[in-house]
Amino acid sequence: MQDKVIETNVVSVVGEVHSELEFSHEMYGEGFYTFDIKIPRLSDYNDVLPVTVSERILVGLEIKAGIAVKVEGQLRSYNKYKDGNNKLVLTIFARDMSLCENLEEIKNPNQIFLDGFICKEPVYRTTPFGREITDMLIAVNRPYNKSDYIPCIAWGRNARYSEKLQVGDHIKIWGRVQSREYQKKIQDEQAITKIAYEVSVSKMEINEEDNNRFNEKESDYDEPTND
């Protein structure tokens, strides 16, 4: 009898293809492609998120800008080294993909579930408008001794609660994947617009009986930037 597979990283998004397919890389003879998907929020803003998909999943699908698709998979991270810096890159790794005819009828087009561990001390802050936010970095394990490091943002009472969490605490998160533009200064009077990807938390649970707390100084995690 096979052991039941416990899903710790599940993403489901429905939206409009926002860019043309581009070849990304090849692994063990299998080609992978990338494209952006535009997902509507309840507000007028749209999240534009990167998707990575295998050529095997693309068989029989004509993916082009403007069509509606449903993507199911995981939110993956990897480190990209550029100009001596270690950058955290996020992408939705598609396990299944299909065409979608009625995008307007989808009630919740952007969903994610994560089951992982706090791997960086949470940072509590308030916005200029007084909104409470706590930034977290969650390590989610996957097979072959690999982990994905996912930036998450908690709001309001979740922000006040997660501020007290410690490195190694076991946490489950439900929410959505979002894109956010910000300005990064490159010189005293110059700035460029960049995009950050993160999980906006709508619900969270802490497993106080199962944690992996340790001294941050003992961690071998090399923290990248999300610039």
DSSP secondary structure letter of residue 105: G
Question: In the chain, which residues fall in CATH 2.40.50.140?
Answer: 9-108, 112-216
**Structure confidence at residue 222 (pLDDT):** 43
The CATH H-level (homologous superfamily) assignment of domain 9-108 is Nucleic acid-binding proteins (2.40.50.140)
**Structure confidence at residue 219 (pLDDT):** 38
**Structure confidence at residue 223 (pLDDT):** 45
**Structure confidence at residue 227 (pLDDT):** 52
- Which pair of structure tokens corresponds to residue 202? 């709508």
For 81, phi and psi rounded to 5 degrees?
-95, 125
Task: Tell me whether strands 30-40 and 170-187 are parallel, antiparallel or unpaired.
Answer: unpaired
| Separation between Cα atoms, residue 168 and residue 120, nearest integer Å | 8
Q: What band does 214 get if pLDDT is binned at 50, 70 and 90?
A: low
Is 126's pLDDT higher than 70?
A: yes
Please write the tens of the pLDDT for every residue from 44-97: 789 999 999 999 999 999 899 999 999 999 999 998 876 777 888 999 999 999
Which residues are CB-contacts of 90 (< 8 A; sequence separation ≥ 6)?
50, 75, 76, 77, 150, 151, 197
For 93, phi and psi rounded to 5 degrees?
-90, 110
Contact 155, 203 (CB under 8 A): no
Task: Tell me whether strands 30-40 and 68-82 are parallel, antiparallel or unpaired.
Answer: unpaired
| Separation between Cα atoms, residue 11 and residue 72, nearest integer Å | 6
- What is the mean predicted confidence (pLDDT) over 100-108? 79
Please write the tens of the pLDDT for every residue from 152-211: 999 999 999 999 999 999 999 999 999 998 877 777 778 888 899 999 999 999 987 777
With left for phi above 0 and alpha for psi between -120 and 50, is residue 130 left, alpha or beta? left
H or E element, residue 139:
strand 132-142
**Structure confidence at residue 221 (pLDDT):** 38
Q: Longest C-alpha distance within the chain, in Å?
A: 64
The CATH H-level (homologous superfamily) assignment of domain 112-216 is Nucleic acid-binding proteins (2.40.50.140)
